[in-house]
Amino acid sequence: MTLDGVMEAPGHEEHPDGKNAWALQHATDDMQRSKIEELFGVDALLLGRVTYQIWAAFWPSAPRDEGFADRMNALPKYVVSKTLKDVEWENTTLLTGDIVDEVRKLKGQPGGDILTSGSADLVDTLMGHDLIDEYRIAVYPVVLGSGKHLFRQRAGIVHMRLRETWAFASGIVLLSYEPAREAPTSRHVDRFAWTKEQIRSLDAAQQVGRVLATVLFTDIVDSTGQAAALGDREWRKLLDRHDRAARTEVERFQGRMVKTTGDGILATFDAPTRALRCAFGLMDAVGQIGLRIRVAVHTGEIEILGEDVGGIGVHIAARVLGEASDDQVVVTRTVRELATGTDLIFEPLGTVHLRGVPGDWELFAASTG
């Protein structure tokens, strides 16, 4: 596998990003001799479906170099698959039953070692049932950046004990491990344990990018229909006028224009009343150029992501926008409570469930008195 853990397409089989043959590029004579010795030292091969299909397409007609192909073809081969109906490669047996039971039966038969090569999904299953006696991992001096990994991301912890290492001329290192029956222990586990104060310091540092803000989303009413009626060029001109008007209103009420969204805007404010005044100003401004909008406003924590914003507060505001009718400013209960005492009017719209947001949310239609 590569330094970043990829094991896919070491030869000329297809890699999804075209990054195949990375292992062959590093092949040296000493590495090839090691592979030949390994193959002649086993009595059978155990393969997953994908590896079998790749090898069965290549090895029967492969170059007869140092007897490698002949040995590959002559060895008994066992293929684990629920989808294959038959196998044509000589000396191949199809295993269609329970993988764990089938492999246990194989291991219980007389004979020498069984070699599994590639077959990441099969290895994952065998590892999960403690059916692998030795892992031989050839680590290649290359970072591939993409491709299938040998070990699954959500696999449980498996501790290994190093048996032996071999280094080759190309920089490949072959590592031999066996499963450790007990987890290792070390005094450094307790020595470098985090204190409560250290945890609090890290948490405080990671919260620097989180602030309390009022989020405003807008959306042009029937933008698709208007774009179709006007044509792309005229619609683009109208959108430019909309964006200029929106930027002017956001700046007027001391907000921050985060971005346009194609047919609307996302802006943030340090107070909900400013966001609401901006919303009403936006309706008037875009109305003068023949557009109508709907608006959503929510106050909550957001994450500052460079020039953009994110977090649950932004997510809630976006979902609230989906509840707004044409020419309507819809706000959450938080905004209504923070804007209490102003001349603004809040008409209850009921309680709704916002997709992807926990709990029920009470919404209000805001208007000026």
Q: In tens digits, what is the pLDDT along the chain, a chain of 369 residues?
A: 999 999 999 998 888 888 999 999 999 999 989 999 999 999 999 999 999 999 999 999 998 878 899 999 999 999 999 899 899 999 999 999 999 999 999 999 999 999 999 999 999 999 989 999 999 999 999 999 999 898 877 667 889 999 999 999 999 999 999 999 899 999 999 999 999 999 989 887 776 678 999 999 999 999 989 999 999 899 999 999 999 999 999 999 999 999 998 899 999 999 999 999 999 999 999 999 999 999 999 999 999 888 999 999 999 999 999 999 999 999 999 999 998 777 899 999 999 999 888 899 999 999 987
In a domain, 83, yes or no: yes
In a domain, 19, yes or no: no
Q: What is the pTM of this model?
A: 0.60
In a domain, 13, yes or no: no
224 and 363 share one domain:
yes
In a domain, 11, yes or no: no
Residue type, 27: A
pLDDT for res 51: 93
pLDDT for res 4: 93
235 and 162 share one domain:
no
Domain count, the chain: 2
pLDDT for res 208: 65
221 and 329 share one domain:
yes
143 and 222 share one domain:
no
In a domain, 184, yes or no: no
pLDDT for res 154: 67
pLDDT for res 268: 97
In a domain, 193, yes or no: no
CATH number reported for the structural domain that contains residue 325 in this entry: 3.30.70.1230
In a domain, 348, yes or no: yes
Q: Which domain holds residue 115?
A: 24-179
163 and 217 share one domain:
no
In a domain, 190, yes or no: no
